[in-house]
Structure 1
Amino acid sequence: MAATSPPPTPALTAERILEATEEVLRRHGPAKATVVDVARALGVSHGSVYRHFRTKAALREAVTKRWLDRTSEQLSGIAAGDRDPEVRLREWLRALFDAKRRKAGADPELFATYMVLAGESGPAVTEHIADLTGQLTAIIADGAGAGVFTVPDPAAAARTVFQATGRFHDPGYAREWVRPEAEDDFGSLVELLVRGLSSP
């Protein structure tokens, strides 16, 4: 009987490295996770990892961006839709709150890790906030164009809405998201914001 050769090792890609990094961070936490740990998990040398990410900081920045981008991608479909802007705004704010709450509740250790990484990764967080406020601007601008919202500057209104709802998406408030009154508080705030955007 002829010996079978082992299956070929998948090519080392940036995506594979980021997946492995996330697992290493989950196991070891941000303080102890190293590039050597990531390389070991992939069965490669740490030099191979550095060929894709030149420094440990670059790797941590990339894995943080990947984590944040998941939320942005979930919301972009709502923002780019062609339905009533008020409906889209309500759905977008709800989806943002739900996405953040799900991340915090489903994997609290990894969520805590990413809170540390986000504190280190200024550009990734800044880009994430700019993307989210850009999506909000698009919705509010559509509403202003349709006469649903009466705002002279959709970008300024979007920044205000984003800041006003921070309690329901800023990770620093994660402990409050499980309070029984969180749902009612969120609903009341959204109603207030929508009325404010719509008032003459």
Structure 2
Amino acid sequence: MAPTPETLTAERILEATEEVLRRHGPAKATVVDVARVLGVSHGSVYRHFRTKAALREAVTKRWLDRSSAALSGIAAAEDRDPQARLRDWLTALFEAKRHKAGDDPELFATYTVLTGESGTVVGEHIADLTAQLTRIVQAGVDAGTFRAEDPATTARALFQATGRFHDPGYAQEWKRPGVEEEFEAVVELLMRGLRAD
């Protein structure tokens, strides 16, 4: 049964928008399509999201936040060794991006387009991820296992150095045989460079 406008929530609209984007792609998906899936008028959707751009930005943020949430648990695990946390965090980021690209390629392609449109959302996502990395690097410096004059700068360098394994522009390479070994080699090189000894 379709929801009534009274039970319509932003979350339900975002779920429907994801379904519409998967079906039609970003070029053809409209607010009217989203409203139709929900069984409401497009005006009801606009009460939650003032413009189509705002809706697209919100659905992009929701998609990116899923990655951030999974990674934040690793970053926050203060009781774990910083080296293991860093390795696990980088691995989880790579795996999350690979799964998004491989499990639902249509939606991944759609979000690649949408993230190109949403400069602030993408910037905030990258800032969140590098803040998580900074937390791990700082913990390593505090424990005496990492050497870094400025943990924030080091975190940004780590993020950029591993870009090939999480930047959507490289998604086609993530399917190649041997990519896991290449990832491990890059991570090991970075870990050696960080170690205080």
TM-score norm. by structure 2 comes to 0.96
Count residues with an aligned counterpart.
Answer: 195
How far residue 152 of structure 1 moved from its aligned partner, in angstroms, is 1.0
SS in 2 for 1:148: coil
2: distance between equivalents of 1:72 and 1:99? 10
Match of 1:37 in 2: 33
Determine the structure 2 residue equivalent to 1:88: 85
Q: For 1:153 and 1:127, how far apart are their aligned partners in 2?
A: 21
- Deviation string for 1:37-81 (max 9, x for gaps)? 000100000000000000000000000000000000000000000
Task: Work out which of the residue numbers 19, 22, 25 in structure 1 matches 2:21.
Answer: 25
Match of 2:121 in 1: 124
| Match 1:69 to one of 50, 62, 65 | 65
Structure 1 residue corresponding to 2:99, chosen from 84, 97, 102: 102
Cα displacement (A) at 1:94 = 0.3
Corresponding position of 1:135: 132
Quickly say closer, same or farther: Cα 1:7–1:94, change in 2 above 3 A.
closer
Distance 1:171 1:31, change over 3 A: same
Which of 156, 162, 166 does residue 163 from structure 2 map onto?
166
Q: Letter of the aligned partner of 2:189 in structure 1?
A: L
Cα distance in 2, alignment partners of residues 118 and 40 from structure 1: 25
CA distance in 1, matches of 2:55, 2:21: 12
Q: Residues 131, 7 of structure 1: CA spacing in aligned structure 2 closer, same or farther, 3 A cutoff?
A: closer
SS in 2 for 1:149: coil
TM-score, L = length of structure 1: 0.95
Q: Give the deviation of 1:106 after TM superposition.
A: 0.2
- Structure 1 pair 8/135, CA: closer, same or farther in 2 (3 Å)? closer
Question: How big is each residue's C-alpha offset from its partner over 1:73-96, in whole Å with a ceiling of 9 and x where there is no partner?
Answer: 000000000200000000000000
Query: Over aligned residue pairs, what C-alpha RMSD do you find?
Result: 1.3
* Conservation of the 8 A alpha-carbon contact between 2:3 and 2:39: no
Q: Distance in 1 between matches of 2:53 and 2:2?
A: 33
| Equivalent residue, structure 1, for 2:141 | 144
Identity of aligned residues (%): 74
Structure index of larger Rg? 1
Alpha-carbon shift at residue 7 of structure 1 (Å): 9.6
**Counterpart-to-counterpart distance in 2, 1:86 and 1:14:** 39
1:194 partner amino acid:
M
Question: What secondary structure does 2:77 align onto?
Answer: coil
Change in Cα spacing, 1:17 to 1:198, as seen in structure 2 (3 Å) is: same
**Contiguous gaps of at least 5 residues in structure 2:** none
Q: Deviations over 1:158-180 (max 9, x none)?
A: 00000000000000000000111
Which runs of at least 4 in structure 1 moved beyond 2 Å after TM superposition?
Answer: 6-10
